[in-house]
Amino acid sequence: PIGRHSTNSGSVVDVAVAADFIHTLQDLGTAFASAGGGHIVISAGSTGKLYAQIHAGAPYDVLLAADVSTPRLLVKQGLGVAASRFTYARGRIALWSRSPRRVDNKGLVLRNGKFRHLAIANPKTAPYGAAAREVLQHLGLWQTLRTRIVRGDDIGQTFQFAASGNAGLAFVALAQLKDPAFPASGSYWIVPQKLYAPIDQQAVLLERARNNAAAIAFVKFLHSHRARTIIRRYGYNVD
Amino acid sequence: MSDIDAHLVLRRGEFVLDATFQTPARGITALFGPSGCGKSTLLHCIAGLEPAVRGTLRVNDELWQDSELHVFVPAHRRRVGYVFQDAGMLAHLSVRGNLEYGMRRARRARSGPAFAQTVEWAGIGPLLGRRVQGLSGGERSRVAMACALLTDPVMLLMDEPLAALDARSRAEMLPYLERLHSELSIPVLYVSHAIDEVARLADHLISLEPGRVVACGALREMLTRLDLPFARSDEAAAILDAVVTGYDEQFQLALLAFPGGRLAIPQRRLPAGTAVRVRILARDVSLSLAHHHDTSILNIFPARVLDITEDRPAQAVVRLDAAGAVFLARVTRRSVHSLGLKPDAEIYAQIKSVALLR
Amino acid sequence: MSDIDAHLVLRRGEFVLDATFQTPARGITALFGPSGCGKSTLLHCIAGLEPAVRGTLRVNDELWQDSELHVFVPAHRRRVGYVFQDAGMLAHLSVRGNLEYGMRRARRARSGPAFAQTVEWAGIGPLLGRRVQGLSGGERSRVAMACALLTDPVMLLMDEPLAALDARSRAEMLPYLERLHSELSIPVLYVSHAIDEVARLADHLISLEPGRVVACGALREMLTRLDLPFARSDEAAAILDAVVTGYDEQFQLALLAFPGGRLAIPQRRLPAGTAVRVRILARDVSLSLAHHHDTSILNIFPARVLDITEDRPAQAVVRLDAAGAVFLARVTRRSVHSLGLKPDAEIYAQIKSVALLR
Amino acid sequence: MNALAIDFTPVWLTLRLALTSTAILLIIGTPVAWWLARTSSFCKLPVESIVALPLVLPPTVLGFYLLIALAPTGPLGRVWHAISGGSLAFSFSGLVIGSVLYSLPFVVQPLQNAFEAIGERPLKVAAMLGAGPVDRFFTVALPLARRGLVTAITLGFAHTVGEFGVVLMIGGNIPGKTQVLSISIYDHVEALEYGRAHVLSAGLLAFSFLVLFVVHLTNRRLQARGL
Amino acid sequence: MNALAIDFTPVWLTLRLALTSTAILLIIGTPVAWWLARTSSFCKLPVESIVALPLVLPPTVLGFYLLIALAPTGPLGRVWHAISGGSLAFSFSGLVIGSVLYSLPFVVQPLQNAFEAIGERPLKVAAMLGAGPVDRFFTVALPLARRGLVTAITLGFAHTVGEFGVVLMIGGNIPGKTQVLSISIYDHVEALEYGRAHVLSAGLLAFSFLVLFVVHLTNRRLQARGL
Ligand SMILES: Nc1ncnc2c1ncn2[C@@H]1O[C@H](COP(=O)(O)OP(=O)(O)OP(=O)(O)O)[C@@H](O)[C@H]1O
Ligand SMILES: Nc1ncnc2c1ncn2[C@@H]1O[C@H](COP(=O)(O)OP(=O)(O)OP(=O)(O)O)[C@@H](O)[C@H]1O
Ligand SMILES: [Mg+2]
Ligand SMILES: [Mg+2]
């Protein structure tokens, strides 16, 4: 694949990122640049869409996916550099309502609260959705709430459902609530990790950037303490 | 008194129509005037198709429009039958569709026979299933006339309906048009630029100049008034009332009497006593000093010269009086001179042909 | 020999046009026939606007169409000027835009004066800036005629161009149309249902019945042939060639001579020796046994009866020969009887009016 | 479960949505188009532009604003709640509103053009044949604008079928309730289930081709008979 | 960074894309519409339906298939690569192809209707005034189809501006290269940057309103002078 764009622009790294991580990445980019790394160009999209694009030769150097399976698949198909694959963040979900004091710190509102709609991300396409389903199944509410669940395309939409007041409650990414730039009001319950399988988000260096020093440097940077601090600040767990 | 009483004003670009006239709401009133003088526009106004028109319009004691009183009866409630100059029809319907469209919306349901009869008259039977686009010019106008008649209108507006017809079709339709006003007893406003058609059909005449009405009155007077264009035209004619007195079986001539004399005209049998109306074209009248019996001209009678107008370089119009009946003769100035014609001269009028109107 | 040579076949729904004719490619050829007989369709075929037409068409030694040889000159290359029956124009252009559209695409660039002159003739100067939709019926046809002329065509096709005109505008345009064939020297195919117009304008005549050509030839012969509808119509006329011999200043009469006698007609001065053509309507001719000098009829000369056709119940057409000039008289059967008319009878023809054609 | 097993609920839902929306689009769009074609009010220009506006917003963004409007606290949602007691977002009614709003220009513009092309003439002729304004509209204007109507139906229907941004946003992707075919295909693509996406897409194309073909064929038939 | 600071690159990119696509849409769509309006070939019906088809696929799905076609290994991408040496997917050219394909029905259908409404008559009149087929097309058919042209431009332009499903898929949301305004707004909404989304949306609406207003105004002016 030939990308007219970044073949010889050594100091530019094209990063494809899952939508939930975009603000974190912006901060990381600033930090990377100030550390003398280079400039990163961010293309956001859902992980599924990004996969299809990479498959079609998209000029991305690094993928920060929202799941594990996509980077794994890319590596398997020879589109990703196997050695570079690693979990850069572990997402956490929270049950959120825009009304203050609506959500208690045990999530009891799910069982006895009055709400018309509960928004979750589409479990089929979004890892956060799958996690939300798991939580509900764990609590034994998946069947009872079935008719009240509305599904956003991704956690961005899920957040909008609740933020616009159309859905009383929503399972959103903790990162969305912790975002320093847009602190959310209302009340939330950070769902205990034991209720769902970890939402591991993996990064992978893409094959076309195998020899791109700046890209390699960026992936390395993600491992750094400085990067981890930033990521943690957005509500992600990092190993 | 049932009249059509109009005072209508409309501005359209640079053209201003300001028409005031009154005409009886029965019989046929011809609208006559040069191209672009506003005849079609006037019909549009009367039909209610020009919302911008100001003024008043009263038909048959019904007020159709009064811009002071904010009265404006919408077009479809006026129930006029309109034959447009371009024979406008509904392009998405067949000929039959067009005919039925108006018929179904008529005041009174028209009977099947009325339909069959109208189709028969207009000679459009073979066209019924056709789309209106393929029609020839003459076919279009015949269909349009049939459409207008089938709406059972209270008034007919016809904009040069015969202009696209050949002489034969025209001759076939004229008698029916003539019967319209007796049979249907609805008034007809009839635009035409053919004086012979007007003379033949109309009872009343409205003469237009660009934008305005210059004269308006009974056809007969208007035709012989030397201050109006009719008497001066090539088609100048007089109209006389006569009574059928007999019939010449051998030569199939109807014998008529009028105050000034007798007329024999080629005509199918008419019952004696029938009142008829004949038209005598000025150009068909020649004058002689003596009564000659050896000519092919059948109709010769004595008359007195009323006046002589030399309206053209070489020609004159002579107004004649035959015992009260006024008619016109177009002769050369040379003949005026050689025959010594002057007012009150007694001469013989030789009439080459006479048209029976009805 | 430059001719228009056509053999054209077209099917349109139930109507089939199968027209074969030959006419000289100069002067005016009239297409005459009843409504719906295919006159407009024939013009369309000649113009190249009917791709479905089969057959051959040759104009001026150029092959415009031969379906055997797969020759079909596209419409815009035929360079004909076409005045459509509905005076079709380009609705998105002003009157001036329409005129210039054709002018710019003409074979030879037309000069400004040609434009001004044509506009002047058609009397459309005040309309130049107008949109074509607002034009009255008569205005439309005048603009359409001017458009067609300004394309500098090799042939003109005119579909009832005067039908929408009033008598005055018609009279104003006729002389110009008459001059077309001498001045422009291009052939004109002229559709009309008015025999008088045809008689006045045309050199040749193609007579149509629904779908086919029934006769085709020089106007003069066609008009007096008793087997054709012209001689039997009300407008039956004969055409005579004459020469100007003098002028009566006092009464403004032109004096003409033709083999059978002399004619005096109201007319502006014409130089002596000019060859002219006059039309004598059958209905303007009366017959007498003696020569009467005391009548207003100026033109009287001796003639011999050729034959008599009693074509109507009460009337007959008498063909007359005045020293080789053949003309017609329409008289009643009674006059035939009372005057004892029969072939070879010697009589006097009294001619009420004579029209100078050109 | 077979990898290509397909749930047909979205198909019916889509069909229902497309038919309902198209019907409502015609009901709303036709008078608007008629008014626009015939008015010379100074409002014409702004209204024309406003009708075309929903087009320029990305559907998801339009959906976002609709979501705000339809929310129980939003202007539309409040009215609706007062009337029906229900909520608009995440309901079929909401989907219909979204689709109608988004597809309106495709219905109004062709209709308006068609109405304008008719001109005054046939309406005058019909008036003279005794037809009142409403009568004229149905028996003359609509038949003569048939081509525009067909285009309006085609574009409106197809666009509603294909629309998914707005629908996804205000529908909440609830299976059996607001999950229409387009979303369902989209989900398959996102979930990398390309096989199912291909099958559904092919089916959708074939079906739509059929519908459009039938619409155009009907149009032709009518054309052959009428205009 | 100010929360409402706005990057204008997407705006220019969008404008460039919309103008290019509209121009290409007209160049491609006009002959197609003309052919459809005048042919009586049996191909007409299928072609009409095919032109309308891209509409029924959700844009992202259409984009997905386009992506496959435009990829260096795909049919179109391979040809393009052979010709230009570049890649179609994720390039401006690719965006243009996608937008054109997706907006084609909005351009073809109104134009086709307008061409059909003209009828044979004016073309015959023009032929008699000496105009050949091409001349007639430009001097008669196009001016008479002006209303359809305006609608085609309006719908084509607005739809390209608002389109984002296809563009997101085949463009890859690359800032400065394929990240158009619609995607950028979408991103802001997704990233919960509602403030910026509002500002951009309002700007987009205002700007588009202006463009549409000008188009309609021009149309009116022309109408007043011409048809
Ligand atoms: N929109 C307009 N702007 C300016 N003048 C107009 C407009 N519409 C019509 N006219 C003019 O109004 C006048 C009257 O037109 P109208 O059609 O009534 O004439 P008419 O008497 O019927 O003529 P004709 O016998 O030729 O049909 C014409 O001179 C015409 O040019
Ligand atoms: N599409 C069609 N289907 C069937 N018949 C048609 C079609 N188009 C025209 N015709 C018929 O062809 C015949 C010839 O039409 P055309 O217009 O040439 O007549 P015309 O001689 O010009 O008559 P007019 O003097 O009335 O204008 C008419 O009888 C007409 O009805
Ligand atoms: Mg008129
Ligand atoms: Mg004709």
Which pLDDT tens digit goes with each residue over E175-218? 877 788 878 888 887 777 888 888 888 888 888 888 778 877 88
Looking at the domain covering E9-224, what would its CATH class be? mainly alpha
Instruction: Note whether B196 and B333 are same-domain residues.
Output: no
Q: Atom 25 of ligand 2 has which residue's CA nearest to it?
A: C35
Structure confidence at residue B171 as a pLDDT band (50, 70, 90):
confident
CA of residue B242 relative to chain centroid, distance: 19
**Cβ within 8 Å, pair C74-E132:** yes
Structure confidence at residue A2 as a pLDDT band (50, 70, 90):
very low
- Mean predicted confidence (pLDDT) in D102-118: 89
Helix (H, G, I), strand (E, B) or coil at B190: strand
| Among B179, B202, B232, residue at a domain's last position | B232
Nearest to C198 by CA among C274, C267, C279: C279
Give every CB contact of residue C335 below 8 A, 6+ residues apart in sequence.
B295, B296, B297, B298, C287, C341
Ligand 1 pocket (Cβ < 6 Å) reads: B 12-15, 33, 35-41, 85, 193; C 134-139, 164, 166
Closest residue, chain E, to A23 (C-alpha): E191
Of B36, B235, B314, the CB nearest to C139: B36
pLDDT over threshold 70, residue A237: yes
Task: Write down the pLDDT at residue E3.
Answer: 44
Task: Write down the pLDDT at residue B110.
Answer: 61
* Mutational test site, ligand 1, from B39, B83, B162, B198, max ligand atoms within 8 Å of CB: B39
Structure confidence at residue A68 as a pLDDT band (50, 70, 90):
very high
**C267 at B interface, C-beta within 8 A:** yes
Instruction: Write the CA distances from E5 to A109, E195, E196, E197, integer angstroms.
Output: 39, 10, 8, 11
Six-digit token string for C254: 């032109």
CA of residue A161 relative to chain centroid, distance: 18
Nearest to D182 by CA among D211, D207, D210: D207
What's the domain range around C308? Answer: 237-356
Helix (H, G, I), strand (E, B) or coil at A53: helix
**B268 at D interface, C-beta within 8 A:** no
**Cβ within 8 Å, pair E192-A44:** no
Instruction: Note whether C11 and C158 are same-domain residues.
Output: yes
**Could you tell me which chains touch chain D, where touching means 3 or more CB pairs under 8 A?**
A, B, E
Chain E CB contacts of A179 under 8 Å are 192
- The Cα of A228 is separated from the nearest Cα of chain D by a number of Å equal to 29
Nearest to E124 by CA among E141, E146, E145: E141
Query: Cα(E108)–Cα(D216) distance, rounded to whole angstroms?
Result: 14
Query: Cα(E218)–Cα(E222) distance, rounded to whole angstroms?
Result: 6
pLDDT over threshold 70, residue A3: no
Chain D CB contacts of B50 under 8 Å are none
pLDDT over threshold 80, residue D176: no
Instruction: Note whether B277 and B326 are same-domain residues.
Output: yes
CA of C139 from ligand 1 middle (Å) equals: 8
For residue A162, list its beta bridge partners: none
- Mean predicted confidence (pLDDT) in B134-140: 84
Instruction: Note whether C244 and C224 are same-domain residues.
Output: no
- The burial of B68, by beta-carbon neighbours within 10 Å (0-12 exposed, 13-18 middle, 19 or more buried), is given as exposed
Q: Which residue has the tokens 């006329």?
A: C237
For residue A10, list its beta bridge partners: none
Could you give the percent of chain A with pLDDT greater than 90? 46
Instruction: Note whether B245 and B216 are same-domain residues.
Output: no
Task: Write down the pLDDT at residue A5.
Answer: 40
Angle, CA D37 vertex, CA D157 and CA B78 arms, to 5°: 120
Per-residue pLDDT reduced to its tens digit, E1-25 = 444 456 777 888 888 898 999 999 9
By the 8 A CB rule, do C356 and C264 touch? no
Instruction: Note whether B322 and B210 are same-domain residues.
Output: no
Of A2, A53, A179, the CB nearest to E172: A53
pLDDT over threshold 60, residue A86: yes
- Mean predicted confidence (pLDDT) in E68-83: 82
Chain B CB contacts of C336 under 8 Å are 296
DSSP assigned state of B270: -
CA of C21 from ligand 2 middle (Å) equals: 19
The answer to whether A and B touch (≥3 CB pairs < 8 Å) is: no
Of B13, B36, B136, the CB nearest to C36: B136
**What is the CATH number for C341?**
2.40.50.100
Structure confidence at residue D211 as a pLDDT band (50, 70, 90):
confident
Give every CB contact of residue B303 below 8 A, 6+ residues apart in sequence.
B260, B320, B321, B322, B327, B346, B347, B348, B349
CA of C41 from ligand 2 middle (Å) equals: 7
pLDDT over threshold 70, residue B1: no
- Mean predicted confidence (pLDDT) in A133-139: 93
**What is the CATH number for B163?**
3.40.50.300
Task: Write down the pLDDT at residue C180.
Answer: 64
Instruction: Note whether C196 and C275 are same-domain residues.
Output: no
Six-digit token string for B297: 């001209």
By the 8 A CB rule, do B28 and B138 touch? no
By the 8 A CB rule, do C331 and C349 touch? no
For residue A199, list its beta bridge partners: A91
ipTM greater than 0.85, yes or no?
A: no
**E121 at C interface, C-beta within 8 A:** yes
Identify the weakest region by mean pLDDT among A10-19, B165-174, C130-139, C215-224. B165-174
3-state secondary structure labels for all residues of chain D: CCCCCCCCHHHHHHHHHHHHHHHHHHHHHHHHHHHHHHCCCCCHHHHHHHHHHHHHCCHHHHHHHHHHHHCCCCHHHHHHHHHHCCCCCCCHHHHHHHHHHHHHHHHHHHHHHHHHHHCCHHHHHHHHCCCCHHHHHHHHHHHHCHHHHHHHHHHHHHHHHHCCHHHHHHHCCCCCCCCCHHHHHHHHHHCCCHHHHHHHHHHHHHHHHHHHHHHHHHHHHHHHHCC
Under the phi-then-psi rule, with left for phi > 0, alpha for psi from -120 to 50, and beta for the rest, what region is B145?
A: alpha
Instruction: Note whether C221 and C264 are same-domain residues.
Output: no
Instruction: Note whether C215 and C246 are same-domain residues.
Output: no
Measure CA of the first residue to CA of the last residue in chain E; give whole Å: 54
Domain count, chain C: 2
Instruction: Note whether C200 and C220 are same-domain residues.
Output: yes
Closest residue, chain E, to D160 (C-alpha): E56
Structure confidence at residue B182 as a pLDDT band (50, 70, 90):
low
Query: Cα(D70)–Cα(E218) distance, rounded to whole angstroms?
Result: 36
For chain A, the average pLDDT equals 87
Instruction: Note whether C227 and C266 are same-domain residues.
Output: no
Q: What tens-digit pLDDT sequence spans chain C (358 residues)?
A: 578 999 999 998 889 999 999 999 888 899 988 888 999 999 999 999 998 999 999 998 899 999 899 999 999 999 999 999 888 899 889 999 999 999 888 877 666 668 888 888 888 889 999 988 888 888 888 899 899 989 888 899 999 888 877 777 777 777 667 666 666 678 899 998 777 778 778 889 999 989 999 989 988 888 878 777 777 877 788 888 899 998 988 889 999 998 888 899 888 888 888 888 888 989 899 999 999 989 999 899 999 999 998 888 889 999 999 988 888 999 999 999 999 999 999 999 999 888 877 6
Angle, CA C288 vertex, CA C286 and CA C291 arms, to 5°: 115
| Among C213, C232, C251, residue at a domain's last position | C232
Identify the weakest region by mean pLDDT among A78-82, B27-31, C131-135, E167-171. E167-171
**Cβ within 8 Å, pair B92-D121:** no
| Among B185, B201, B232, residue at a domain's last position | B232
**Cβ within 8 Å, pair B76-D121:** no
3-state secondary structure labels for all residues of chain C: CCEEEEEEEEEECCEEEEEEEEEECCCEEEEECCCCCCHHHHHHHHHCCCCCCEEEEEECCEEEEECCCCEECCHHHHCEEEECCCCCCCCCCEHHHHHHHHHHCCCCCCCHHHHHHHHHHHCCHHHCCCEHHHCCHHHHHHHHHHHHHHCCCCEEEEECCCCCCCHHHHHHHHHHHHHHHHHCCCCEEEECCCHHHHHHHCCEEEEEECCEEEEEEEHHHHHHCCCCHHHHCCCCEEEEEEEEEEEECCCCEEEEEECCEEEEEECCCCCCCCEEEEEEEHHHEEEECCCCCCECCCEEEEEEEEEEECCCCCEEEEEEEECCEEEEEEEEHHHHHHCCCCCCCEEEEEECCCEECC
Query: Cα(E211)–Cα(E209) distance, rounded to whole angstroms?
Result: 5
